[in-house]
Amino acid sequence: NIKVRKAFNMAINRKKLVEETLNNQAFGAGLYGFTPQTFPGYDITKIKGYEYNVTEAKKLLAEAGYPNGRAFPPVKIILNSGGARNTNVVVEIQKQLLENLNINVDFEVIPMAKKMDLAASGQTDIVREAWVADYPSPESFLSVFYGATVPKDPNQKSYPNTVRYKNPQYDKYYVLGRDAINRDSSFANFMRAEQILMNDAPIMVLWYDGNYRLINYNVRNMHTNAMRYRNLSDVYIKEVA
């Protein structure tokens, strides 16, 4: 039910999540699209995501047939083990959904391999996932939701499109962006596709991650980039007296 998905999105205070739960250890709150603000010329602030709006969230939930969360079915969030960070985030989401929508969600922490298997098999209500680009283009993020990768047989595993999202309009603009002959046309179509994705709300974008690299002052010409490609041919160590 799209109204339930949108209600969940609007019931989450992402800024509080970043500032208090993550202690500001994030590039920014997920207020726009799925693609982070990484690529010059691809302005994600033009993509309308979901602002914190409890009043509208409650209204949508009621329209979906669950006024004040009454009769809402059991929901479980699945996340992978390997640190307290994600668990802390899910606990905060659990609190916010209960407080704002009167919905009590459960969660379970399981090994990464099992989580990925359940997600690809379509056996989760909500699953914690993240994505790092394989190449420097919004395409690497948007390819996750390309409908052509979803198997026709629901019993077959679906990856990377684990939410099995399919929208012909999304696929149309994604392909136009992927096959465009210049960057401007590519980005324009990718942004159209990404807005359709956010309108359909198959996901809840929580925050955008960022990383810092600390390099010793003596190390020169050691440049960093988003793809973590390290060319050491011009790197040298300068002794400082």
Residue 117 token pair? 């298997």
Low-confidence stretches of the chain (pLDDT < 70) are: 226, 241
Cα separation, 101 vs 69, whole angstroms: 6
Q: What is the three-class DSSP state of 241?
A: coil
**What per-residue confidence (pLDDT) applies to 128?**
93
Nearest-10 Cα torsion for 171, 173, 178, 181: 150
Partners of residue 219 on adjacent β-strands: 237
Q: Tokens 């990768």 label which residue?
A: 149
**What per-residue confidence (pLDDT) applies to 241?**
65
Whole-structure pTM value: 0.89
- How many Cα neighbours within 13 Å face the side chain of 55? 0
**What per-residue confidence (pLDDT) applies to 143?**
96
Cα separation, 129 vs 86, whole angstroms: 10
**What per-residue confidence (pLDDT) applies to 85?**
87
